[in-house]
Amino acid sequence: MIEIYRPTRERALLVGTSGHGVTRYQSEDSLRELAQLADTAGAEVVDTIMHNRPRVDPTFYIGKGKAEFIANLVQEQDLDVLMFDDDLSPAQAKNLEKLCDTKIIDRSGLILDIFARRAKTREARTQVELAQLQYLLPRLTRQWTHFSRQDGGIGTRGPGETQLESDRRLVRYRISQLQKELEKIELQRAERRRHRDGVFKAALVGYTNVGKSTLLNALTASEVFVENRLFATLDSTVRHLNVKNDSTPKNNTSILLIDTVGFIRKLPHHLVASFKSTLAEAREADLLLHVVDVTHPLFEEQMAVVKQVLEELKLNELPILHVFNKIDGLQENGLIKRLEETHAPAVFVSASRGMFLDELRARILEYARADEEELAIDLPIANSALVARLHSLAQVMEKNYEDHTVHLRLRANHATAEKIRRLLAESGN
């Protein structure tokens, strides 16, 4: 008989606080989000605790009395890990770990763990490792207690301190290597993006788990991985969206649709910094489609989080079309009308049920058309190489032959149109 080992899920207690700059309801929603993160990471949430404090305790974050109460719960319920809904300082984490005698994970550490599990491509793995090391560096004092105490003073200096400094140097060296690796990856990405010049690009951005990948699949008939969990998608995905042009039914307009990693409140700073390379796909877009789960009770707060991250990444100057998703689950009458007034321009869809997707395609096409112009060009038939080059650069709306001349009517965006004019000038046409 062969015994199959099935790892058990770690039993977790979640801890959140309210009363210092956020309302109780906001804190409870954030704690519910932490429970989703814990489930995504593979933990079993045994219980949650919400503690109201006017200010954060610098030693135990939640105060010594509450920390001792939680330490007793850890023993009584045989818990494996405590997860905190905010970031802990290295000293707070060390004190809590010592008092509770169990593993301590804060929100940033949990998000980084999920990203490490979900990262598939070379770029995503590099970015996650960089963010993890930058997060770990100031917390290394807890890693070497088996060598000697790190408090300093007489009788405490020894191999532990030497090992700790050696480890810090190794971590800094590895960070430097990863940063150089990301620079190379970004150059390769830039080269790939260069080949997409002349094609209109729309990037899907938004809070995590609002249905961006489902919308991408619905619009492009793709099969991008979709899961009802936070951060199901880490790597940016590019697919073609062919929108039929009613005025010229024989021609299609090619538009690239880009799916990006979702945002979340309290997103680790290092993660935002290291994922700038992935989000560069969004930076190259001509239009941002801000996807919103309109059924979420705090969707407007989620929209504010996305807006803040876009500002940090300097993406807020791009045109934004709000795409309110999951309207089939709406209960509030009149909400759509209010959102049309407060968040214009906006469209309302259900990606999972395919509702009003044609309207969304039409709106995307409007933005694409606004960036385009038509060119009428006459070339000698003998100049077949230039004619072929124009075919590769622009959409050929019409082509007629007369005597020794080919008459072309092209459609291209402004940047490509300018490039075509330079080609014609260089060739003497």
CATH at residue 417: 3.30.70
In a domain, 18, yes or no: yes
Segment 100-107 shows an average pLDDT of 93
Tens digits of per-residue pLDDT, 192-234? 666 666 678 899 999 988 999 899 999 998 776 666 666 766 6
On the question of pLDDT at 149 being above 60, the answer is no
Q: CA-CA distance, 356 to 349, in Å (whole number)?
A: 5
In a domain, 114, yes or no: no
Structure tokens, 385: 């190489």
Q: CA-CA distance, 362 to 205, in Å (whole number)?
A: 19
Amino acid at 353: R
Question: Are residues 222 and 326 both part of a single domain?
Answer: yes
Contact 33, 45 (CB under 8 A): no
H helix runs in 252-343, sequence order: 269-274, 276-283, 299-312, 335-342
Question: Are residues 350 and 302 both part of a single domain?
Answer: yes
In a domain, 313, yes or no: yes
In a domain, 110, yes or no: no
Any idea what DSSP says for residue 368?
H
Question: Are residues 229 and 164 both part of a single domain?
Answer: no
Domain boundary among 326, 349, 369: 369
Question: Are residues 174 and 209 both part of a single domain?
Answer: no
User: What strands lie across the sheet with 395-402, from one edge to the other?
Assistant: 372-380, 405-413, 395-402
Any idea what DSSP says for residue 294?
T
- Tell me, what CATH number does 90's domain have? 3.40.50.11060
- Secondary structure class of 253 (helix, strand, coil): strand
- Secondary structure class of 372 (helix, strand, coil): strand
Question: Are residues 97 and 125 both part of a single domain?
Answer: no
Residue found by looking up tokens 């070379």 in the block: 122
In a domain, 112, yes or no: no
- Of the two residues 35 and 426, the one the predictor is more confident about is 35
What sign does the CA torsion over 95, 96, 97, 100 have?
Answer: positive
Question: Are residues 226 and 348 both part of a single domain?
Answer: yes
Residues in Cβ contact with 359 at an 8 Å cutoff, skipping those fewer than 6 apart: 347, 349
How many domains is the chain built from? 4
Question: Are residues 379 and 285 both part of a single domain?
Answer: no
pLDDT of residue 374: 87
Domain limits at 411?
Answer: 373-426
Question: Are residues 210 and 265 both part of a single domain?
Answer: yes
On the question of pLDDT at 64 being above 70, the answer is yes
Structure tokens, 12: 């977790």
Question: Are residues 279 and 328 both part of a single domain?
Answer: yes
State the Rg of the chain over Cα. 27
- Tell me, what CATH number does 308's domain have? 3.40.50.300
Listing DSSP states for 43-93 in one string gives EEEEEEEEEE-SS-BTTTBS-HHHHHHHHHHHHHHT-SEEEESSPPPHHHH
Tens digits of per-residue pLDDT, 242-271? 676 544 444 456 788 988 878 888 876 666
Distances (CA, A) of 345 to 204, 217, 293: 15, 23, 16
Question: Are residues 341 and 212 both part of a single domain?
Answer: yes
Give the CA dihedral 317, 241, 236, 225, nearest 10 degrees.
140
Question: Are residues 187 and 200 both part of a single domain?
Answer: no
Tens digits of per-residue pLDDT, 166-192? 888 888 999 999 989 988 887 877 776
Question: Are residues 249 and 187 both part of a single domain?
Answer: no
On the question of pLDDT at 145 being above 50, the answer is no
In a domain, 231, yes or no: yes
